[in-house]
Structure 1
Amino acid sequence: MDPGYRKDSKEMLPYEYYLKLYQETDPYDILKRTDIVYDTMTASFRLHMMGVTYQITYPDFNVRHIDGEKIGWYPLEGKANARILVLRYLNEGVRAPASGKFLTYREIPWGEVYYKQFNGRCISRLAFGFGNKLEKFEEIMNKIGAVKLKAGDVSYEFEFIDDLKLRMILWEGDEEFPPSAQILFSDNFPIAFHQGEDMAVVGDVAIDMLKALDK
Structure 2
Amino acid sequence: MESNYKVAYYNEWKTLQKREFKNVAEIRNVIYDEDKKEFSIKVFNREYILNCNDETIRRSGDNHIPSAETGVMILNYLSFTENNIDKTNKWVSLKEIPNGGMMFYPAFYKSSIVSLINTFGYDSSKLRKCGENLDGKETKMGDIAFEFEVFPKVFCRVAVWEGDDEIEPSATILFDSSIQYMMHVESIIGLGGYIINKIINELGRD
Q: TM-score normalised by the shorter chain: which range applies? A: 0.7 to 0.9
Instruction: Give 1:180 deviation, angstroms.
Output: 0.7
CA shift at 1:121, angstroms?
Answer: 2.4
Residue 11 of structure 1: aligned partner? 5
* TM-score relative to the length of structure 1: 0.82
Does 1:207 find its partner at 2:201? no
The alignment-based identity, stated in percent, is: 24
Structure 2 residue corresponding to 1:130, chosen from 113, 120, 123: 120
- Distance (whole Å) between structure 2 residues aligned to residue 81 and residue 132 of structure 1: 31
Q: Which amino acid aligns with 1:91?
A: S
SS of structure 2 residue aligned to 1:182: strand
Which stretch shows the higher mean deviation, 149-158 or 84-93? 84-93
* Contact 1:153-1:170 at 8 Å conserved across structures: yes
Return 13-22 or 165-174, whichever deviates more: 13-22
Distance 1:95 1:201 in 2: 22
Partner Cα distance (2:127, 2:107) in 1? 23
Q: Secondary structure at the match of 2:125?
A: helix
Instruction: Choose from 102, 109, 121 the match for 2:91.
Output: 102
Q: Indicate the residue corresponding to 2:48 in structure 1.
A: 54
Find the residue that maps to 1:167 and give its secondary structure. strand
Instruction: For residue 209 of structure 1, report the CA deviation from its aligned partner.
Output: 0.8
2:86 and 2:167 map into 1 onto residues whose CA distance is 38
C-alpha displacement at 1:33, in angstroms? 4.2
CA contact (8 A) 2:125 2:144 kept: no
Q: Is 2:34 aligned against 1:40?
A: yes
Moved over 6 A (4+): none
Task: Confirm or deny that 1:179 pairs with 2:181.
Answer: no
Deviations along 1:42-73, whole A, 9 cap, x unmatched?
Answer: 22111111111222211323333336x9xxxx
Question: 1:115: Cα distance to partner?
Answer: 1.9
Gaps of 5+ in 2: none
Task: Say which of 54, 70, 87 aligns to 2:75.
Answer: 87
TM-score by length of 2: 0.85
The number of equivalent residue pairs is 202
